[in-house]
Chain A
Amino acid sequence: MTTTPSAARTAGAAMPDGSPRTHYLNATYGLKSWLLTRDHKRIALLYLVSISVFFALGGLMAVLIRMELATPEGDLFQPDIYNRLFTMHGVLMIFFFLIPGIPAVLGNFLIPLMIGARDLAFPRINLLSWYLYSIGGLFTLWALLHGGVDTGWTFYTPLSTNYVNTSVITVGVGIFIAGFSSILTGLNFVVTIHRMRAPGLTWFRLPLFVWGAYATSLIQILGTPVIAIAILLVAAERTLHIGIFDPKLGGDPILFQHLFWFYSHPAVYIMILPSMGVVSELVATFSRKPIFGYKFVAFASIGIAVLGFFVWGHHMFVSGQSIYAGVIFSVLSMLVAVPSAIKVFNWTATLYKGSISWDTPMLYALGFIGLFTIGGLTGVMLATLGIDAHVHDTYFIIAHFHYIMVGGAIMGYLGGLHFWWPKITGRMYPLFWSKLSAIVIFIGFNVTFFPQFILGYLGMPRRYHSYPPEFQVLNVMSSAGATVLGLGYLMPLVYFIWSIRYGPKAPSNPWGATGLEWQTTSPPPVENFLTQPIVTAPPYTYPAPKRAPEVTRGV
């Protein structure tokens, strides 16, 4: 890529402080310029707004769930309404927030910037994927307005095929369409990372976020078609009774669980791998040290992505799956702990003797490491056949996967958002409030979900709107924690929006980080780079340039 005429024009019209007058946010105006954009940075922002809407809706459902569970009696909702609440909470959060979350927002924005490219390989397909996501989301919202769905987000047969009378097919179609959005995003990333790296940017000079996004994309491409087919088969079974899942017609309901978890277990890694990539960036930057064991961390991402496809049967230990298959899945599931532990140990080793600064993104990253470790180790417990038989379908499971998805994936997402917000918007957010939000979220999260480990171990099953009175103390704790957690999530919403208008202008490299994305202006020009960057060194060559003084001072 050479310097284009418009880039030269942009460079000519530089502001006194050296930042260009036009950038991707003010290059064009109007609704059409956003809805028909092919700029990966604008599409990332479209995604950011849409997934935030779904996060808010899913969060609202969580609030209602925790309100109901504050008392042992089912006094706020009827059981069938409660079933719809937790189902829609799961569907919205997983398919419309967590899975598109980091890849589609941070990945879209950062991958071309990090590899020194002008855009993704297929900008039109990138826009198409946002439209598919939106159409899928609208289908699901439409179903929500028409009573929602009450099968649990897992759509288990025969409940979903033979018994419930809710909008199973509409929500299924919504997820099916959103799945294509996910496949297209993954495809775009893989092609971009293979073919559009800047001169000199070899595979082992790639930032670890790009490795994480690459591993995620592999799962999106290979796994998503399977759940698409599984959902179509549920729809076909409901309407035409073709007999895939119905034993009366020669089918097997457990086959659905196989097909569902073949995607939905790796889908957990779609959520966590990009977060791990973010954390690798944050830990290196805020320790002022190169990441310890770069190649191990990079290959651990690929290892998790591939091993993730070998373990799905651990969701089915007590479902009627053969006990021998269960033994194999149990052993294989424990293997996932190896690459995960490699990452955690290497982050810790990076921190060792580092020059650590307690900036907001780092607080989120440290929160991630602790919470992910708890979530991961309880996962190893659950991979054990004996323990799983005891705590299957209890709150122990709920606590475990929320530690991974909320404590892991969302902490990483927020850490990344705080880290790259100055790059995305060209504005700084208030450091005090943002640090406070990280601490409030960490505390709120633990108060919400740690009691659920105990509740589950004591035998409280998931998915019931009432429970024996002896569980009330821990449930009230959990509901109180959820209030704190909700407050913690509202804080970034407020100060991020505030910062867009009132935040102090951010320099190009506020954190003194290495990485190509920091070598262009904040916000970046439409072309990303005014001249083609050439890479001559490995990533994370810390100690790097000095930090911008206004960040050190605080705002």
Chain B
Amino acid sequence: MPAHVQPVRVYFGVFAALMAFTALTVFASFVNLGHANTFVALGIAAAKATLVILYFMHVKGNTKLVPVVILSGLFFLLLLFLFLAADYGTRGWLGVPGR
């Protein structure tokens, strides 16, 4: 596998971006956005995770197989959430007998 070398300033740039996102997380926690709270928090977290995976874990610029492995992991996570939603989303449909 070819070693993919990146200049140091890329790492510092990513680090700065992560710090900025962290500040944004703290800031967002003081603003009440109603239902959007969770989505904003998770969105920022996902953006940070993507940066870490792409740059710090050297997925960007690596062979194609590496992203495939990562995406298959995410696919199975999605599967877990999907079927959990199938249960929790429909559990109340029939109501409770006798109530």
Interfacial residues, chain A to chain B (CB-CB below 8 A) = 194, 222-223, 226, 254-255, 258, 262, 309-310, 312-313, 320-325, 328-329
Contacts and interface: CB of A to CB of B under 8 A. Distances in A.
Contacts of A320: 91
Question: Most chain-A CB neighbours within 10 Å: which of B72, B73, B80, B94?
Answer: B80
A328 B65 contact: no
Contacts of A223: 76
Given A194-B65, A222-B72, A222-B73, A325 B79 contact: no
Question: Most chain-A CB neighbours within 10 Å: which of B84, B87, B90?
Answer: B87
B93 A324 contact: yes
Interface residue tally of chain B, by bracket? 10 to 19
B39 interface: no
Contact of A310 (B72, B79, B88): B79
B87 A258 contact: yes
Given A222-B72, A222-B73, A309-B76, A324 B83 contact: no
Given A194-B65, A226-B80, A321 B72 contact: no
B86 interface: yes
Contacts of A309: 76, 79
Interface of B: 65, 72-73, 76, 79-80, 83-84, 86-91, 93-94
A220 to B, nearest CB: 12
Nearest to A218: B72
B73 A322 contact: no
Given A194-B65, A222-B72, A222-B73, A324 B80 contact: no
Question: Most chain-A CB neighbours within 10 Å: which of B72, B89, B91, B93?
Answer: B91
A322 B87 contact: yes
A322 B92 CA distance: 8
Contacts of A325: 83, 86-87, 90-91
A194 B65 CA distance: 10
Contacts of A324: 86, 90, 93
A322 B95 CA distance: 10
A190 to B, nearest CB: 9
A222 B69 CA distance: 10
Contact of B86 (A222, A262, A322): A322
A325 B90 CA distance: 7
B87 A313 contact: yes
20 contacts: A194-B65, A222-B73, A226-B80, A254-B87, A255-B84, A258-B80, A258-B83, A258-B84, A258-B87, A309-B76, A309-B79, A313-B83, A321-B87, A322-B87, A322-B88, A322-B90, A322-B91, A325-B86, A325-B87, A328-B86
5 A-B pairs with the lowest CB-CB distances in the bound complex, closest first: A324-B90, A322-B91, A325-B87, A322-B90, A325-B86
Question: Most chain-A CB neighbours within 10 Å: which of B65, B72, B88?
Answer: B88
A309 B76 CA distance: 8
A262 B90 CA distance: 19
B80 A262 contact: yes
Contacts of B94: 323
Nearest to A194: B65
Given A322-B93, A323-B94, A222 B87 contact: no
Question: Most chain-B CB neighbours within 10 Å: which of A313, A321, A322?
Answer: A322
A262 B82 CA distance: 12
Contact of B91 (A222, A310, A321): A321
A83 to B, nearest CB: 29
A320 B93 CA distance: 13
Contacts of B86: 322, 324-325, 328
Contacts of A323: 90, 94
Given A309-B79, A313-B87, A322-B91, 20 more contacts: A194-B65, A222-B73, A222-B76, A223-B76, A226-B80, A258-B84, A258-B87, A309-B76, A310-B79, A310-B83, A313-B83, A320-B91, A321-B87, A322-B86, A322-B88, A322-B93, A324-B93, A325-B86, A325-B90, A325-B91
Question: Most chain-A CB neighbours within 10 Å: which of B65, B76, B93, B94?
Answer: B76
Contacts of A322: 86-91, 93
Contacts of A194: 65
Contacts of B72: 222
A222 B76 CA distance: 7
Nearest to A257: B87
A324 B89 CA distance: 10
B79 to A, nearest CB: 6
Nearest to A320: B91
Contacts of B89: 322
A119 B94 CA distance: 57
